[in-house]
Amino acid sequence: MDLDLHILPLHRHEGQDLSDLPGLFVADASITRRASRSRKGDILVLHLALNGTATLTAEDQAQVLEAHAQAFFESSGSVTAALRTVGENLNEFLLDRNREGASRNLQATGSFTGIVFHNGQIYTAQSGPNHVFTVHAVTAQDLHDPYLAGRGLGVSRSLNIHLNHAPLDSGDLIILSTNPPMAWKAESLQKAYGRPLGTIHRVLMNAAGSDLRAVLIQVHEGKGAFKILKRDELGSQPPPAAAPAPGRAAPATRGSEPPQVPVKAAAEGREPVPGGHTPIDSSATSSLSTPIQSSKTVEPALPPRRRRNREGGQAVLAVIRAFGGAMRTFGYSLRALLTRVLPGSELFTIPPSTMAFIAVAVPILLVTVAGVVYVQRGRQGQYNRAFEKAQEVAEFAGTRTDPNEIRISWQAVLGYLDEAERFETTEESQALRIQAYASLDPLEGIERLDFQPVLLTALGENVNIIRMVATRDELYLLDEISGSVIRAWLSGRGYEIDTEFKCGSFGNTTYSIGKLIDIAALPQNNVLGADIFAMDSNGNALYCKSDGSPPVAQAVAPPASNWGDPRSFVLDSGQLYVLDPQTNAVWIYSGEQFSFINPPRLFFDEEVPEMENVIDFAVDLDDLYLLHADGHITTCTFGFAGQSTKCTDPSLYTDTRPGKENTTLVPGTQFTQLRFSPPPDPSIYLLDEVAGAVYHYSLRLTFQRQYRPLAALEGTITAFAISPGRTIFTAFGNEIYGSILP
């Protein structure tokens, strides 16, 4: 079956969606007149993402990839060998450039993906941190292996390439990306199967962050052509026809065959070379929806609802007939079998109702038994395969000396162990995990903590803790769903929930408090007698008391420009700092006894950083730390005595770990919360949602260490706090854990 490809580049940079994707090149055998016979009918997709100080322009990348694509189609032999040759040649090209530019500090590394569509199969080659998702009717896979794919091109002569292949059918999806969003999981992407391309595009982009490089490919029945689409063409793309059942011809469908036009093209939309085939352009799209003329009598069109009812009734009738025929056939076979097995004519004395029961019960019983045996053996087999891979990579890691190679290898071991322990956890897998931690943790600066549940009474299922405050003997937990605060106090047995504590939304004749957005502890013996200061998104303050008395509400004076959308606040040295990204502001309130009724002043003056995607912040006297959604930090210092406020955006993370580099982003992390810890050890702490870890940095953003649980905890980490007594608390939704810091 010949297949057509609809290819859609997905490119977003700093929040702006772009139509082209530099480094993407697509071609078929018409790219060269010397194409090998074994390459006829192949479609090649190359994607190269360059990083460093010596990257290429989009035009130069297209020329380099075109030359290597021509070499691919002129080569003979296996597809995988030809793909590997493309990767090796590109690696040599980048190595030569890096060697020439070494004296001028001009270097570049490449993340490479090569895909070939050949005879109903997809062949992939990956070098570097790439993901290729293959989405089929009932399954989906993420083809990603950091150990086998290595660090990419231009790094060393010894090149790691991860090769794979899989069958392909009409309706399948292929998604490749160098930096897929966290929400792009194989399980969730499988739900996109059979959807129109425009719908899939919208869902994928909604889950993406401010930066994305990816390619979406949808497979259709056709004649071996491809088309590179633009976003404005998505509305005209029908969903693909489902692949026919094995051994049966595909039914004729109206408009299911795009024109047979082999093409070659780059993502930039280059014109074909003389003598090449004509590309499919936007005018050809209309033929996809043009009905094919038929010599048969055309039935009159039915209204949509009647047509759906009729089609549904015919489908149900077909299923009933098929099931009835199958039962009759099985009954005849069962009757013949029992005639041979049972002596005499006793078979014919069995009542018809019993025969019907046997006809249904026996196959169900057989299938059930077979299923149980298959699941048991299948789970064991999958465990064995993943565990054996983990052992192989661990042996390889033991022979490495380069810190990056050691790090990548042991991370791959942990990945395989995670896969194995989805099916079974054994003493061997746990022992190998401990070995991996012992080898990896010193390189990563990880300290493993024995987190244990701290609450004596479980929180309800409809609770999601997003902020925490820890005093010496109390925990205050802000619930996102109710918008209220839960208090827990330390007894001799653990932390007990205070059912009398009141701190949440309420209304009276003076104030109407909405859902609270943030909380902070107040100093003891304050005039208000309150323990917790809280705010809602309308700028109303709430003072909550642990003695069971009602909270006290007070309006915080709004700025002259009024509130936009306050996200969080900080109390520092008696002043209130309020983060309002919508108005690009951090407001400073000076008040007496934590009563903030006077108008605020802006933290910034002439220099105001871009704050639209700021998600959290921290304050240390005159220094301000702004955490952005992509993980970078802006630091600002308040100006006094006629001096202007100065900001650095982005600030540099200093990383002293072996093989690590100073950078404005920490690879592999997703920071969601930022906290300042006061003396005697003033520090910045960042919550990493991906690893469920807490990163510890100095005030100059120099890496110190990271804290991770000794045993994996279920769910996503949603909040953390550190008490004055050096206990760290973490929230995983409605579960609260604690551990003593070393």
List C-alpha distances in Å: 17 to 33, 93, 104, 211, 323.
37, 30, 33, 9, 51
Per-residue model confidence (pLDDT) at position 525: 77
> DSSP 3-state assignment of 378?
helix
> DSSP 3-state assignment of 677?
strand
DSSP state of 425: -
- CA-wise closest residue to 490 among 409, 546, 535: 546
User: pLDDT tens digits for 692-705?
Assistant: 999 999 999 999 99
Please give, one letter per residue, the 3-state secondary structure of 194-238: CCCHHHHHHHHHHCCCCCEEEEEEEEEECCCCEEECCHHHHHHCC
3-13 and 226-228 strand pairing: parallel
Q: What is the mean pLDDT of the chain?
A: 81
Per-residue model confidence (pLDDT) at position 108: 87
Give all strands (DSSP E) within 440-503, no chain letters.
446-449, 452-453, 465-470, 474-479, 485-490, 495-497
Model confidence band, residue 258 (pLDDT cutoffs 50, 70, 90): very low
CA 167 – CA 240 distance, rounded (Å): 17
Per-residue model confidence (pLDDT) at position 348: 44
Higher pLDDT: 621 or 232? It is: 621
Task: Report yes or no: 585 and 536 within 8 Å, Cβ to Cβ.
Answer: no
Per-residue model confidence (pLDDT) at position 208: 85
Model confidence band, residue 244 (pLDDT cutoffs 50, 70, 90): very low
23 alpha-carbon distance from chain centroid: 22
pLDDT at 176 over 90: yes
591 alpha-carbon distance from chain centroid: 44
pLDDT at 446 over 50: yes
List C-alpha distances in Å: 632 to 502, 611, 616, 672.
37, 12, 11, 11
Sign of CA dihedral 654, 656, 657, 658: positive
162-167 and 540-544 strand pairing: unpaired
Sign of CA dihedral 347, 353, 357, 360: positive
Residue 727 pairs in a beta bridge with 740
CA 569 – CA 577 distance, rounded (Å): 5
Measured at the CA of 501, the angle between CA 497 and CA 505, to 5 degrees, comes to 120
Which residues lie closer than 8 Å to 447 by C-beta, 6 or more apart? 441, 705, 706, 707, 708, 742
The mean pLDDT value for 482-493 works out to 92
Which residues lie closer than 8 Å to 284 by C-beta, 6 or more apart? 227, 258, 259, 261
Per-residue model confidence (pLDDT) at position 652: 95
Of 156-165, 170-179, 392-401, 651-660, which gets the smallest average pLDDT?
A: 156-165
Amino acid at 104: R
User: pLDDT tens digits for 557-584?
Assistant: 899 888 898 999 999 988 999 999 999 9
Model confidence band, residue 245 (pLDDT cutoffs 50, 70, 90): very low
User: pLDDT tens digits for 390-438?
Assistant: 898 888 888 888 887 788 788 888 888 888 888 888 999 999 999 999 9
The token pair that represents 675 in the structure block: 């906290």
CA 674 – CA 695 distance, rounded (Å): 10
Task: Report yes or no: 64 and 54 within 8 Å, Cβ to Cβ.
Answer: no
User: pLDDT tens digits for 314-324?
Assistant: 545 554 555 55
The token pair that represents 493 in the structure block: 């047995």
- CA-wise closest residue to 165 among 116, 132, 123, 219: 123
Per-residue model confidence (pLDDT) at position 371: 65
Task: Report yes or no: 106 and 54 within 8 Å, Cβ to Cβ.
Answer: yes
* DSSP output for 611-658: -TTEEEEEEETTEEEEEETTS-EEEEE---TTPPPEEESSPPBB--ST
Residue 369: how many CA atoms within 13 Å on its side-chain side? 5
The mean pLDDT value for 434-443 works out to 91
Query: CA torsion 601→607→612→615, rounded to 10°?
Result: -70
Model confidence band, residue 358 (pLDDT cutoffs 50, 70, 90): low
The token pair that represents 191 in the structure block: 């739900």
- The tokens 């930022």 sit on which residue? 674
Task: Report yes or no: 228 and 7 within 8 Å, Cβ to Cβ.
Answer: yes
- CA-wise closest residue to 731 among 679, 669, 672: 672
Q: Helical H runs in 424-496?
A: 427-444
Determine the angle formed by the axes of helices 352-397 and 427-444, rounding to 10 degrees. 40
Higher pLDDT: 409 or 46? It is: 46
Model confidence band, residue 688 (pLDDT cutoffs 50, 70, 90): very high
CA 388 – CA 395 distance, rounded (Å): 11
Of 329-338, 349-358, 594-603, which gets the smallest average pLDDT?
A: 329-338
- State the distance between the two ends of the chain, measured CA to CA, in whole angstroms: 63
- pTM for the model stands at 0.55
- CA-wise closest residue to 327 among 369, 356, 351: 356
- 600, burial (CB in 10 Å: exposed 0-12, middle 13-18, buried 19+): buried
Q: What percent of the chain has pLDDT over 70?
A: 80
Measured at the CA of 160, the angle between CA 156 and CA 162, to 5 degrees, comes to 155
List C-alpha distances in Å: 7 to 13, 155, 204.
20, 30, 14
Per-residue model confidence (pLDDT) at position 351: 57
Per-residue model confidence (pLDDT) at position 226: 92
The mean pLDDT value for 47-51 works out to 92
Cis omega (within 30 of 0) on the bond before 680?
A: yes
pLDDT at 343 over 60: no
Which residues lie closer than 8 Å to 346 by C-beta, 6 or more apart? none
Q: State phi, psi for 170 to the nearest 5 degrees.
A: -60, 135
List C-alpha distances in Å: 235 to 228, 232, 460.
14, 7, 44
User: pLDDT tens digits for 225-240?
Assistant: 999 998 877 765 667 7
Measured at the CA of 447, the angle between CA 443 and CA 452, to 5 degrees, comes to 150
Amino acid at 407: R
Of 56-65, 263-272, 489-498, 723-732, which gets the smallest average pLDDT?
A: 263-272
- CA-wise closest residue to 569 among 442, 489, 469: 469
Neighbours of 580 (CB within 10 A): 23
601-602 and 727-732 strand pairing: unpaired
Give all strands (DSSP E) within 321-464, no chain letters.
446-449, 452-453
- The tokens 């048969």 sit on which residue? 296
Which residues lie closer than 8 Å to 596 by C-beta, 6 or more apart? 541, 554, 556, 557, 576, 589, 590
- CA-wise closest residue to 342 among 330, 334, 354: 334
Cis omega (within 30 of 0) on the bond before 581?
A: no
> DSSP 3-state assignment of 717?
coil
Model confidence band, residue 607 (pLDDT cutoffs 50, 70, 90): confident
Task: Report yes or no: 646 and 703 within 8 Å, Cβ to Cβ.
Answer: no
> DSSP 3-state assignment of 87?
helix
The mean pLDDT value for 295-314 works out to 42
- The tokens 């952005």 sit on which residue? 628
Q: State phi, psi for 27 to the nearest 5 degrees.
A: -155, 160
pLDDT at 273 over 60: no
